[in-house]
Amino acid sequence: MRQPLVAGNWKMNGSLASVRELLAGLKEGIGDVKVAEVAVCPPAIYIPETQAQLAGTPISWGGQDLSVHESGAYTGEIAGPMLRDFDCKYVIIGHSERRTYHGETDELVAEKFSAARKSGLVPIFCIGETLEERESGITEEVVARQVDAVIEHCGVEMLGEGVIAYEPVWAIGTGKTASPEQAQEVHAFIRSRVAKSSSDVAEGLRILYGGSMKPDNAAELLAKPDIDGGLIGGASLKAADFLGICTAAND
């Protein structure tokens, strides 16, 4: 059985005051997490505050990106060991916003995957097609290429130490969720692609869905056999909404 994971990607949102309020709301409402694992990925500068508030709770935390380097003259970057210094468990890599606005390639994302593992972080590895790619009928080709890049660079066993997040780019922040059937179809394809290299890894690998997931659509997405949790953007900024999704994952 794969344990569901619900992770919040706060992106570049919040202030110290709003982060404190959100963390307090999460702490208060989380109760006993029985089935789902829960994590939040705040902007890096709020990670120390997150650690201070969430240590000892069932909620883990992580970064939104990391450098491929461990230290050195890389202005503005954050290294894996620095995230580990603040007890981050996870790090998001290859988010479509980084691929689009920061020119991250499949190869760089694969290097980040291995840098994350080297630091003892669990990568939440994002993949997904754009609307244009979906409409051209190349969704499977795109996600296969993205997954294969990590398998080629890191090996399938290392891929299995991370988590995949399937995030169709057209569903991110648009309010347009992939239907549970559309998402399940791609999730099953991703698992079958991994199975070509290792059926054991494919069977154990958690594949999250991301893209306008909300408390009112989470249950039907999470009921699909190959959807093992969610990577939540907008709805993770409100404690009640995020906790509503965690509850759906617990059912």
Question: Of the candidates 4, 5, 9, 168, which one interacts with ligand 13P according to CB under 6 A?
Answer: 9
60/37 Cα distance (integer angstroms): 8
Q: What is the x/- site pattern for ligand 13P, positions 173-202, by CB under 6 A?
A: x-----------------------------
Q: Is 146 in the site for ligand 13P (CB under 6 A)?
A: no
CA-wise closest residue to 99 among 167, 197, 1: 167
42 binds ligand 13P (CB under 6 A): no
Interacting residues of 150 by C-beta distance below 8 A, sequence separation 6+ = 109, 110, 113, 125, 158, 159
Q: Does 79 bind ligand 13P (CB under 6 A)?
A: no
Q: Which of 95, 97, 104, 133 is catalytic?
A: 95
Pick the catalytic residue: 37, 97, 129, 167? 167
Among 47-55, 66-74, 129-137, 225-233, the segment contacting ligand 13P (CB under 6 A): 225-233
* Binding of ligand 13P by 67 (CB under 6 A): no
Q: How many residues bind ligand 13P (CB under 6 A)?
A: 14
Contact flags string 158-177 toward ligand 13P, x per CB under 6 A: ---------x----xx----
Is 69 tagged catalytic? no
Restricted to residues 84-113, the positions that interact with ligand 13P (CB under 6 A) are 95
Tokens 């709770």 map to which residue?
A: 57
**Rounded Cα–Cα distance for residues 125 and 190 (Å):** 12
**Least distance (Å) from ligand 13P to the CB of residue 200?**
28
CA atoms of 211 and 93, how far apart (whole Å)? 16
Contact 8/234 with Cβ under 8 angstroms?
no
Q: Is 25 exposed, middle or buried (0-12, 13-18, 19+ CB in 10 A)?
A: middle
Does 123 bind ligand 13P (CB under 6 A)? Our answer is no
The answer to whether residues 149 and 106 touch, using CB atoms and an 8 Å cutoff, is: yes
State whether residue 175 is helix, strand or coil: coil
Which residue in 88, 144, 71, 150 sits closest to 114, CA to CA?
150
Q: Among 4, 63, 160, 234, which residue sits at the site for ligand 13P (rule: CB under 6 A)?
A: 234
Q: Which of 37, 212, 227, 239 binds ligand 13P (CB under 6 A)?
A: 212
Looking at the annotation, which residues are catalytic? 95, 167
Enumerate binding residues for ligand 13P (CB under 6 A). 9, 95, 167, 172-173, 210-213, 231-235
